[in-house]
Structure 1
């Protein structure tokens, strides 16, 4: 019993070491932007959490690559850098194992042992699941924002602005993940990244089919000298049509989704209301 308590205290302390500095990365980014990143600052930042570097080695290289991909699709939240997520995975698994051991101590059986294994595995993959969910929401938001953003860029281009200036205007005036991606792409180009590579990097970070088609159309227009306004007009019209088709498809699925709750919740009540008096009258007569 004392060993379980000691293990729980150690895991709680380790979790506090990881989760208590959720805002440290954002503060460090702001400090680096204002003062300039230096080797001394990096050394201090790396030495304050030596435990994180030890814990993240427990994840396989394939697991690190998969988590890094999910982290990129989720927009790389500043409060949760990859190192902290890698450290949280074994800690959460340890918490799940501790809870499983406590349950197993009260009821030792094969079924309970299987439950302990499942709880530990689920706890280990909690960061992956959270990043996956956030990435899906982010991709959906980008897909919804894209047609309106292209309309804004088309208006700016037809008013005489260049394509990058129109993209900068859309990124500054817009809100959400798409505006952030546009600003990041422009920032990459300002620091010397080739235009094509910057667009392809944005495509890789978002993994949205409509945005992928748009970036490839822009790359081809830039390579072959096609008018960018015609590309924007065509892409905006096509994406509006796709958005309308997706809305119609979702509307057509509603009757099918209603069938199950109708049969399980509403239909039994209706049958009870209709057949109840009949059954009561029959019972009184017989």
Structure 2
């Protein structure tokens, strides 16, 4: 009986020491990686907005095979490039690079099958139809993602001057720059407002303001936004007042927006030429010359 008590006591001491070690190890890891973990949680939150209908479902073995096929046909570093394009598109529908690769492989196989079906009706075009439809299905997800990112970046470039005006008013009214970013991000809508909110969240969990702003510029392809971030970082390094920099940048952005509007207005005359020539002129010629041509052909006039 005494031996059993001794063994039980030793086992309890061993379990206690093991739990203490595990607590210290995991607690130290959380303390060291707290900022990094918080950044990852913010990225997961922004990547998970707009959940797709199939979000959260387990990936089937067939989709994993499709992803492997797409990886073998894609160049090295395709996952990182896809993640950058997803960030520029605002991570629509909770998409991930792995899911995109799966659908690229699925599109390749589906396009090949469609090409085979067309080949049965036109056997002579089989060597051209199968690769063409397969390539179309393979690059279709990239095209859709590029289109989504292009629209989002155009929205950012269009709303940037208004956001800068609000920042100027907020800073000159007495708010600090961080508080002005938070206020403008919370009281406005759109992709740029969401980016400002993300910047403030990253600052609150331990990132410096410069790092968070640079990360925002890397997630965007708008030259004006990158210029604005570069001016802010340089002003912070040199000790220049933020309010003065914001006012200069806001004035410059308004000038650029007016210049872009004038450029589009000047291009309108050239763009409207093609529909006028191919759509309007044939109808005018038909109305003006049609009766005369009919009379001439019928022999009742123009003798």
TM range (shorter): 0.7 to 0.9
1:25-56 CA-to-partner distances (Å, cap 9, x unmatched) read 4xx6xxxxxxxxxxxxxxxx8xx325355543
Q: How do 1:83-102 residues align onto structure 2 when only pairs under 5 Å count?
A: 83-102=98-117
Partner Cα distance (2:140, 2:158) in 1: 27
Partner of 2:91: 76
- Asked if 1:267 is matched to 2:281, the reply is yes
Judged with a 3 Å threshold, the aligned counterparts in structure 2 of structure 1 residues 56 and 279 are, in CA distance, closer, same or farther, namely closer
Partner of 2:137: 123
CA RMSD of aligned residues (A): 1.9
- For residue 194 of structure 1, report the CA deviation from its aligned partner: 2.1
Partner Cα distance (2:275, 2:150) in 1: 26
| Number of positions where the alignment pairs a residue of Structure 1 with one of Structure 2 | 245
TM-score (norm 1): 0.80
**Which structure's CA Rg is the greater one?**
2
Partner Cα distance (1:23, 1:228) in 2: 44
Judged with a 3 Å threshold, the aligned counterparts in structure 2 of structure 1 residues 24 and 105 are, in CA distance, closer, same or farther, namely closer
- For residue 116 of structure 1, report the CA deviation from its aligned partner: 1.9
- For residue 65 of structure 1, report the CA deviation from its aligned partner: 3.1
TM-score (norm 2): 0.76
Residue of 67, 87, 107 corresponding to 1:56: 67
Which runs of 5 or more structure 1 residues have no equivalent in the other structure? 1-20, 29-44
Partner Cα distance (1:50, 1:273) in 2: 62
- For residue 78 of structure 1, report the CA deviation from its aligned partner: 4.4
8 Å contact from structure 2 (residues 224, 253) kept in 1? yes
- For residue 24 of structure 1, report the CA deviation from its aligned partner: 5.5
Partner Cα distance (1:104, 1:134) in 2: 33
Q: How do 1:1-286 residues align onto structure 2 when only pairs under 5 Å count?
A: 22-23=52-53, 25=55, 48-49=58-59, 51=61, 52-58=63-69, 59=71, 60=74, 61-109=76-124, 111-282=125-296, 283-285=299-301, 286=303
8 Å contact from structure 1 (residues 150, 236) kept in 2? yes
* Secondary structure in 1 matching 2:95: coil
Partner Cα distance (1:188, 1:23) in 2: 29
- For residue 284 of structure 1, report the CA deviation from its aligned partner: 1.1
Which runs of 5 or more structure 2 residues have no equivalent in the other structure? 1-50
8 Å contact from structure 1 (residues 24, 79) kept in 2? no
8 Å contact from structure 2 (residues 115, 134) kept in 1? yes
